[in-house]
Chain A
Amino acid sequence: MSIVLSIKNVDKTFGGLHALGDINLDIEEGKTHAIIGPNGAGKSTLLNCCIGRLIPDNGTVEFEGKNMIGMQPHEINHAGMVRVFQTPEIFPDLSVLQNVMIPALAKRDGIFKFNAFKSLSSEKALEADAIHILEDMGLGEHILKHAGSMSRGDKRRLELAMGLVQHPRLLLLDEPTAGMARHDTNRTIDLLKRIKERGMTKIIIEHDMHVVFSLADRISVLAQGRIIASGTPDEIRGNPKVQEAYLGGAEL
């Protein structure tokens, strides 16, 4: 198995707070790697260091052998590492379909392309792919709706569709089911399982243990900015250190 993403010795300090300390993590191709940990453990900080929103004080983030530190967010996106945001970061003034067309255009057109004289309605292939993914997400009947007027759960699924339409090499999901009803959560799990069958590598940050144990091949546990355990779901379930730090000694 080849390593897609390799995080080496990453440190990040905010003022006096050690948000991340000496993080080492390898993500294998085709695997779903979950990162769990209590609030404030540094999970989102770690993701932000990967996609160029934050620059770590030390260490490297190598994606397919290339160091991503110091690269612009749009360059990291084109390298094939795509993030799905926790709070929906959609385009509220555009239609649902247009929201998905934008990342699809980004994937095809690159960082800049002046295609001002081409008609948008002639982009049949991109449109078909976008509609296909929206239907997959259960948003098929909403495609012409104003994205800003949708419910929060629908916005989260739209956010996921925007990530998926780029067919990334590595998808970073920040709590993909937070705030979803149980029914929607199960639907999202099914969808993520199907994506996994297609061989897409994923990192998932998640609070919901039901989601984590249904999807993850490997789990890493963060506590106070450090990785205290890494392993298969079974190993993590049985690890007393994890139960101590994260689960407060409760039985999983």
Chain B
Amino acid sequence: MSMPLLRNDWVVMALFTAVVLSAPIWLSPVGAGYPDLLQKFAIFGIFAIGFNILFGLTGYLSFGHAVFLGIGSYTAVWSFKLLTMNVIPAVVLATLLAGVFAVVIGFLSLRRSGIYFSILTLAFAQMSYNLAYSVLTPITNGETGLQLTMDDPRVFDSATTEGLPSTTLFGMDMSGYPGFYFCAVLLIIAFFISLRIFRSPFGLKLRAIKSNQTRMRYTGFNTKPYLLTAFVISGMYAGLAGSLMAITDPLAGAERMQWTASGEVVLMTILGGAGTLLGPLLGSSIIKYFENIFSALNDGQLHEIFAFLPDWLENIVVAIAGEFVGDGWHLTLGLLFMIVVIFLPGGVVEGIRRASAFVRNMFNKSATDESELSAEKE
């Protein structure tokens, strides 16, 4: 924020757009330049950016946001089954329906604050998860998960000849890079909306609620509608993210609503930096990157990496490091999370800020040294 140019929304958006659209190029050296993973970055980025509008700005910690992810996925798959394989109606309907559910769940949960709010949202999420498994089987297809079948009506599509159809955008197949770019465009829009909210009077009011809610009431605000609006917006972001998951793979299961999924978005937001613009996106990308890269490493690859060490040391190092990769990648994530929370409570973004301040200081110091030197010369 120190650079005045970054105060201009359009400059920020131009930079952001360029970085996101060129991600396949600059992420390939670290092994993340393939569409599946990039698409995950974009989808979970949208999820976390939306979650941050509620948690980062108002301080209300929802532990049930995966509910909206699940609703988004189910709605999208139903749209593919009943209407058309075109992704646009799926995305729009999923976002709207998630919004409707967010109004109800938000209205009820926001009757309480603090830990009680978190517990209420968690209760709603677990309830929905269990309902999706049991009584709602006609809608959710229970344990099997909701899938496409050959005899789906798809009223707007012409009958397919052979096999299950794939998702399209007006005829363009949504697998591989086109799928990523579709998600990337939505990520850019989602980020833009978040940026505007952060820098608007509305956003300032949300931050004031986080800072001192009691004072807001005596200042002339009814805080409930503000909180509910923030809750609904973040629920709609989650619904959008859920529908995008169904675009990659037109399948929706109840486990998408489980509390672990709700917890994951909390981790992403805190890891990146709650209440910052870029933090949630960084946090979600880091977690998804670790999940994909570290979980794929095995002992053989570790031996290659540490081959420069003497044999006896190499074996010890690989034995220890082996615990942190493959199935043990959660251990790496846990360590990283602990380090960040203990040493950088503001998340990765705070780390970047501190580092850049440090560099700037060194720069200024050398500049003043030089000017002192030249003064001495005179």
Contact = CB atoms under 8 A, between A and B. Distances in A.
Interface of A: 51, 53, 72-74, 77-78, 83, 85, 89-94, 98, 101-103, 105-107, 109-121, 123, 162, 166
Interface stretch (B35-43, B92-100, B183-191, B206-214): B206-214
A112 B200 contact: no
Interface stretch (B68-76, B78-86, B220-228, B253-261): B220-228
Contact of A72 (B199, B205, B222): B222
A92 B201 contact: no
B346 to A, nearest CB: 12
Contacts of B217: 72-74
B196 A116 contact: yes
B219 A101 contact: no
B197 interface: yes
A85 to B, nearest CB: 8
Contacts of A98: 204, 207-208
Contacts of B203: 116, 120
A39 B210 CA distance: 33
B9 interface: yes
* Chain B residues touching A, range: 20 to 34
Nearest to A53: B218
Contact of A115 (B201, B214, B220): B201
Nearest to B217: A73
Nearest to B228: A112
Main secondary structure on B side of the interface with A: helix
Nearest to A105: B201
Nearest to A89: B215
A162 B201 contact: no
Given A89-B215, A105-B201, A111 B220 contact: yes
A107 B226 contact: no
B9 A90 contact: no
A94 B220 contact: no
Contacts of A102: 204-205, 208, 216, 219
B219 A77 contact: yes
B204 A112 contact: no
A90 B215 contact: yes
A94 B207 contact: yes
A77 B208 CA distance: 17
Top 7 nearest A-B pairs (CB, nearest first) are A106-B220, A77-B220, A91-B211, A116-B202, A93-B211, A112-B225, A111-B222
A7 to B, nearest CB: 19
